[in-house]
Homo-oligomer: A and B are copies of this chain.
Amino acid sequence: MNVFNPWEVKGDIDYGKLIKTFGVEELPNIDDLPIQFRNNLLFRRKIIFAHRGFGQIINSVKNKNSFVMMTGLMPTGKFHIGHMLVAQQMIFYQSLGAKLYIAVADIEAYNARNQSLTDSRNIAVEQYIKNYIALGLKPENIEIYFQSDRSKHKEKSNTYYRLQNILARHVTFNEFRAVYGGISPGKMLSALLQAADMLHPMLKEFEGMVPVVVPVGIDQDPHIRLARDIASRCKEFQFKELCSTYHLFMPGLSGGKMSSSDPNSFIALTDTPQEAEKKIKKYAFSGGKDTIEEHRKYGGNPNIDVSFQYLKYFFEPDDKRLAEIYENYKSGKLLSGELKQILIEKMSMFLEHHHKELAKAERYLDRYI
């Protein structure tokens, strides 16, 4: 396993080093991408910064050809702002016309986390799917499925699980160990099912041989690489090259990783505005100086300031306004408390609106329960 820690916030992002470490490719200059990508905050701000095989997707968008965006969710804990990063990409690709495949990794939760399938189903629906819909995911042109219960169509189910079983011949234990570290039979089955998740949309029982893009955090690249390697050995299917994009991580409130077991490391999308305000005031790591005098004199560091990062990742979509905040904070004109207050206001508005959308989303959940 690579020792790179993608959750560390340490100032300027060394994209070159990240790209070299993982052997991925840099995304083309944003001005060379179709207009829709330029309009997308995550692409424009290089939060999504690298890829494998993404040319296929760019061409599909340009030529209005079919393609699939595939992703998964681990049904544990509360849905929080860190999860929004992939949710935003779902909504973006849906707006581009992509068919979406969303796998609920309930088999992985069972095998790797001892969680019952029933608990997984409830958490997936109540926390994840509900929030996706509230965020704007449309329940059309989408397959949200449980790994344990792939489809209501027998050809689809048989094909999906057949693929899992067939992929097994084309991989070794050592390859699994290299990607997953300690490996057990349960984890191995989950890993093969994950590879099937990524590849099965290309089979004729699903979408046929269309490009599939899987957006992941950069630390997940070993999983992508493994699926790509296995696919290339499965000659009988003639899979297209699996595409992927890589994004940075949204830091936890204190600058480390968001952890489901530590509610003070994240803002949940069900937190009240008051709870969010309290967490930001108390826990959000600041890039400011120790005293107001020093801050005014030397300025703060927005690159390590968690409040600024949250504005950049999601809550301040206006580039010009974000640049002003950046400059004002860096120059010392904007104090840390003031920066936090900007985030608190944006976050409150977002949460209030989102909670109304959550209530409306209820009506779409029946089909998943």
Contact = CB atoms under 8 A, between A and B. Distances in A.
Contact of A165 (B111, B158, B173, B184): B111
Contacts of A151: 154, 158
Interface in A49-99: none
Interface in A302-330: none
A158 B162 contact: no
B107 A165 contact: yes
Contacts of A149: 158, 162
Contact of A168 (B111, B117, B165, B166): B111
A114 B170 CA distance: 11
B189 A184 contact: no
Given A151-B154, A153-B154, A157-B157, A185 B162 contact: no
A168 B154 contact: no
Contacts of A107: 162, 165-166
Contacts of A165: 107, 110-111, 147-148, 189-190, 193
A212 interface: no
Interface residues of A, number: 36
A164 B188 CA distance: 12
B185 A168 contact: yes
Contacts of A148: 158, 162, 165-166
A171 interface: yes
Nearest to A189: B168
Contacts of A147: 165
B236 A116 contact: yes
Given A110-B166, A148-B165, A166-B107, A172 B185 contact: yes
Contacts of A161: 150, 157, 161, 164
19 contacts: A107-B165, A111-B168, A117-B166, A148-B165, A149-B158, A149-B162, A151-B154, A152-B154, A154-B154, A154-B157, A157-B158, A157-B161, A165-B189, A168-B186, A168-B188, A168-B190, A173-B184, A173-B185, A188-B188
